[in-house]
Every structure is written in structure tokens, then in C-alpha cells.
Chains A and B, each alone.
Chain A
Amino acid sequence: MLTLSGIPQNRIITVYAEEEIEFQGYLLSWDAGHTLLACVDRYGENDGFLLLHTDSLYRIDYDSLYEQKLETLYTEKKQSHDAPPLPGKNETLLQSVLSWVQWTHKLARFAFSDQEDLCGYIETIDPLQIRQMDLFTCQPGHSSACVIPENVDFIWIDNRQARDAELIFQARGETDV
């Protein structure tokens, strides 16, 4: 497993993980099961949070000209992330993040390697039940899905697409989606 201690948490890093996952952002926290990243997109803007399996990480880059550029854009565009609280005692990072996503009613995308991604709001955590939303057309879904957290490759929370969808819901007056 890749060593995460010593990776600067105040610098933008590029994370590479299995299933051709590649993201830029700030390393927020990690435990044996999961790693949480505050994502930054190619324009240096807040792109939500990414939770992925720690043992799927195989490479981390930092301090390259590209990451330095993103850091400058992030600062100059006055970007920030309202990070989730750190896990409590006897709580895993996964449990803590899922609780926060449910509590703050954030849209999340659940990505799988062997099936289509799921997007939606967390209804219950145990079992993990997702009320599905279509982020492309911004239509509320009519179904819920049960997800086994271990089978999810990554969970992308409150990214730009999700925030855009929420703007559309608000514009339509759909407050309780």
C-alpha cells in the first residue's frame, strides 16, 4: 500500500488509483480503508470531495508545474472547501463521510468498475440506500438503490456537476428533490 504520511496536505497533489482513476486536489485525511481528497478541477476550482479506497492508490505526484498552476488558480479564484469533520472515535473515514453527506444533503456520485455509476442523495447509511437522480437532465429519479460501500470504486461528492444540478432544482422550485 502506498505510504501517505509525509505527503504535504497544503499542496495540490495528483492521485492515481486503479481503474484509471486520476484526480487533482488536496489530501484531507485517510485511514486503512479510505482516503479523502478535496478535488480541484482543471480550472483550479472546487470540484467537490473524492473518497476512494486507500489500497487502490499507486501513485501520487506533487510540486510539478501543473500542480503549481492549479494551486495559484485555486488561490487567485478564492476557492475553498468546507471539509467534512474528522472521524470520531471508533468511526471509520467512510462512516464519517457518509454521515456528513447524508446530514448536509449533498449529491454524490457512486462509481463502480463493473456497472454504471449511480448519482443521488443518501437516504440511509446502514444499509446504504441512494435516492437516484439524473444529473445529466437534472431529473429526479423514481427509484432508490442499495449499495454495498466496499463495491464502490469511489464516491465523488458535491462536484461541479452536482452543484449545477442543485442550481437547476432551485431554479425550478424543486426544493425537496
Chain B
Amino acid sequence: MYEQIQQACQMQTLVSLHQIGHTDDFFVGLIEGYNRHNILLYSLDPSGRAEAHILFPLCDLAEIVCQNPYLDKLRLLSSRYPQAPYLLGQKENLLEFLLQALHQTGVQFEVTFLNGTDRLLARVLEIRDEDLDLSIETDAGNASGIVRILKSQLHALLLPVNSPDLSAHIQRQEGSDV
């Protein structure tokens, strides 16, 4: 599966990612980055519009599909909209890289934890070696508490696609990494 991910990322192939235990639930998009632990997907909604940059653990993946009629349809639909995936490729520190970007730009994102099903709106307050502080917010953007959590307990990060600050920061950082 890892080779399939590498290839899909290099070729920027539209894929659908099926999660273990959620056979009817899947994400469609372009693989923007990956390593042995995580995968970053430029996720598209059913009409082909960009939805989010989603980072989730590789161990969650049951299957990657690169070719089917639904993907053909989405390929056509998505070609009508501008697409701006990050081109991070294989990146060992993917989680840390994204957390730092979220911290430095103060951009709001969604997060899920390993032992929870809720998607929480959050901003990164502080990052340490093993854990981080998140400011949790309501849908209206009001503060609703602080969570300190081990990085190993983070499940998925959903980054907005409509944040110029975040995109600029990531592209700048990526450029400086190269």
C-alpha cells in the first residue's frame, strides 16, 4: 500500500481512501504528503470542490482505490474548479510540520482524538516535545476551553483549504526546506 501511496502522490492521481471499519465511508482527493505514519489528503467534496487538507494515520487505511467510475466522475467535476494541493511528497515530520504551521499562523482547524469521535474546532496555543495545548472553540469561534494532549493521541487534523495565510506559510516553509 505504501508504494501505491508514493505513486499516487508523485503522479497526483485522484484516489479514494477507505478507512478500516468504515467501508461505506471514504475520502476522495489528491495525496499531498505522506510518511510511514501519516497521510495528507487534499480532500474533495462530492461535487469536486476542495474540502480540506486531512491528515490521518496510515494505520487507519484499509484500501486505496485509484480507478473507478466515481473517481472518473469526480475527475471531470474537479477540473472545473481551481485546485491547490500542497506538494509535500514524502515528509518524515509531517505531523510536526503541520502543527508548527498551524501554531505560527494561528489558523483554526478541526481535530479528532484517538479516544473520541467528536470533531473539535481548535487553534494551537503551544507545542512541546510530546504534547501540545489547543484552544477549543465553539462553531461561533468563541473560546470553549483548553486541551493539553499527547501528540500520539491526535487522530486526524482537518486544515482549511481557504486560508491564504496557511497556504503561504506552508509553501514558504516547504521552499526553505528544499
Contact = CB atoms under 8 A, between A and B. Distances in A.
B91 interface: no
A103 to B, nearest CB: 33
A62 B115 contact: no
B148 A2 contact: yes
Contacts of A16: 115
Given A3-B131, A59-B113, A64 B145 contact: yes
Interface in A43-97: 58-65, 67
A68 B131 CA distance: 24
B145 A2 contact: no
A163 B146 CA distance: 32
Contacts of B12: none
B136 interface: yes
A148 interface: no
B130 A61 contact: no
B144 A60 contact: no
B148 A7 contact: yes
Q: How large is the interface on B (under 10, 10 to 19, 20 to 34, 35 or more residues)?
A: 10 to 19
Contacts of B136: 61, 64
Contacts, number: 44
Contacts of A59: 113, 115, 147-150, 153
A58 B144 contact: no
B128 interface: yes
Interface residues of A, number: 15
A127 B150 CA distance: 34
Contacts of B149: 2, 58-60
A60 B130 contact: no
B51 to A, nearest CB: 27
A65 B143 CA distance: 10
B144 A3 contact: no
Contacts of A62: 145-146
A171 interface: no
Contacts of A63: 143, 145-146
Contacts of A1: 130
15 contacts: A2-B130, A2-B148, A2-B149, A3-B128, A3-B148, A16-B115, A58-B150, A58-B152, A58-B153, A59-B115, A59-B153, A60-B149, A61-B145, A61-B148, A63-B145
